[in-house]
Amino acid sequence: MEMIKVNQLTKKYGATKVLKGINLIIYQGEVFGFVGHNGAGKSTLIHILTDIVNKSGGSFEMLGISDNHVNETKKRIGVMPDITNLYENMKGIDFLRYMGDLAGDNYSKKYYISLMKDVGLEGAEKKKIKSYSFGMKKKISIAQALLGNPEIIILDEPTSGLDPESAIEIRKLVTNLQKSGKTIFLTSHNLDEIEKISDRVGILSEGVIKKMGTPRELKTETKEDIGLLIRTKPVLTAANISKVSEALDMNVSFVDTQKDYTFLNVTSEDDIPKLSKEIMESGILLYELKVEERSLEEVFMNT
Ligand SMILES: Nc1ncnc2c1ncn2[C@@H]1O[C@H](COP(=O)(O)OP(=O)(O)OP(=O)(O)O)[C@@H](O)[C@H]1O
């Protein structure tokens, strides 16, 4: 099922066009990672989808419901608020109860306690938010997004500013939410993280989604050469490579050697088995062959 569908969405602030025609479909149960430079318009899109900011043009559907009827979807979408909007003088559980009450929901104390446990805040229910660590504040923001068991959860930079351990905890939480059937739309500046937890990634640049796909698709789609790292005895030299290249009549280029390793480029995946066979048949012992992966960061920098 299409949980979020965005069609030619635009947004202008005054004369500045921030979003110039966003097209996007997010399916049920996906974790979709949305990345872009500072000021690219990620939060603007989130604010439009959650009815905080008006669109300038185009349309969108949330849970199959048109943006003309956005009120009907609000209870089914959870949005993590900015942690600067937390009521710091309130105890954690009172804050959640207050937000629940504001939404017109009447949950039991047990519900709020279990919600705090779900986000890893067990034992902190009666502590004031101002005494929480940065990571705990992020967690209670996520708990607020989970109030009412929404089907779509939108998290704007859930791990920014967190130490690695807390970031791992939040990532686990996202994975558990996905396992429980939620659809998650998240932004992050941490591309390693986006790559680890997202099923698909969209890169927003110059007002449009320039690239979209699984992390693997993005990392392989624009790659011209395939980098190989080979460990052999004896170590392959430029002369060996040019001989192999000639024998196979294919374009294998020598890049460098470091200790026991040789770095090479080939132009097609099909060259890899041919190359390894040729090396072994020439009496050179092949210990290791690795395809060097492009990082999502490289893809992002080239977008
Ligand atoms: N209310 C507003 N009025 C005018 N311009 C705005 C407003 N809100 C955002 N902008 C501008 O729109 C652009 C996109 O901002 P937005 O916050 O959506 O980017 P972002 O991708 O979320 O950035 P970041 O990664 O830094 O959070 C920026 O140039 C910003 O200055």
* DSSP element (H, E) containing 258: strand 253-258
Burial class (CB in 10 A: 0-12, 13-18, 19+), 302: exposed
- CA 42 to centroid of ligand 1, rounded, Å: 8
Q: Do the first three CATH levels of 2-219 and 222-302 match, i.e. the same topology?
A: no
220 in helix, strand or coil? helix
The whole-number average pLDDT for the span 189-196 is: 87
To test the ligand 1 pocket, which listed residue (10, 44, 48) has its Cβ within 8 A of the most ligand atoms? 44
- The yes-or-no verdict on residue 295 having pLDDT over 90 is no
- pLDDT tens digits for 89-117? 999 999 999 999 988 888 999 999 999 99
Strand duo 285-292 + 65-66: pairing: unpaired
Give the whole-number percent of the chain exceeding pLDDT 90: 66
- CA 206 to centroid of ligand 1, rounded, Å: 13
At 42 the pLDDT is: 94
Give the mean pLDDT of the chain. Answer: 91
pLDDT band at 8 (very low <50, low <70, confident <90, very high): very high
What are the DSSP calls for 51-116, one per residue?
Answer: TSS--SEEEEEETTEEGGGGGGTGGGEEEPPPGGGS-TTSBHHHHHHHHHHHTT----HHHHHHHH
Per-domain residue ranges for the chain?
A: 2-219, 222-302
Query: Which residue would you say has higher pLDDT here, 200 or 245?
Result: 200
- The yes-or-no verdict on residue 183 having pLDDT over 70 is yes
To test the ligand 1 pocket, which listed residue (9, 13, 160) has its Cβ within 8 A of the most ligand atoms? 13
At 86 the pLDDT is: 86
175 in helix, strand or coil? helix
pLDDT band at 190 (very low <50, low <70, confident <90, very high): confident
At 293 the pLDDT is: 77
CATH class of segment(s) 2-219? alpha beta
Note the CATH architecture for domain 222-302.
2-Layer Sandwich (3.30)
Please say whether the beta carbons of 62 and 26 come within 8 A.
Answer: no
- CA 202 to centroid of ligand 1, rounded, Å: 18
Instruction: Round to whole Å and give the CA distance between 46 and 84.
Output: 17
Please say whether the beta carbons of 236 and 279 come within 8 A.
Answer: yes
Reported ipTM: the value is 0.96
At 223 the pLDDT is: 59
- CA 11 to centroid of ligand 1, rounded, Å: 11
- The yes-or-no verdict on residue 146 having pLDDT over 70 is yes
Reference 197, options 221, 220, 215, 219; nearest CA is 215
The whole-number average pLDDT for the span 54-60 is: 97
pLDDT band at 163 (very low <50, low <70, confident <90, very high): confident
At 294 the pLDDT is: 76
The whole-number average pLDDT for the span 205-223 is: 87
At 234 the pLDDT is: 93
Query: Which residue would you say has higher pLDDT here, 71 or 62?
Result: 62
pLDDT band at 222 (very low <50, low <70, confident <90, very high): low
Name residues contacting ligand 1 (CB within 6 A). 13, 18, 36, 38-44
At 70 the pLDDT is: 86
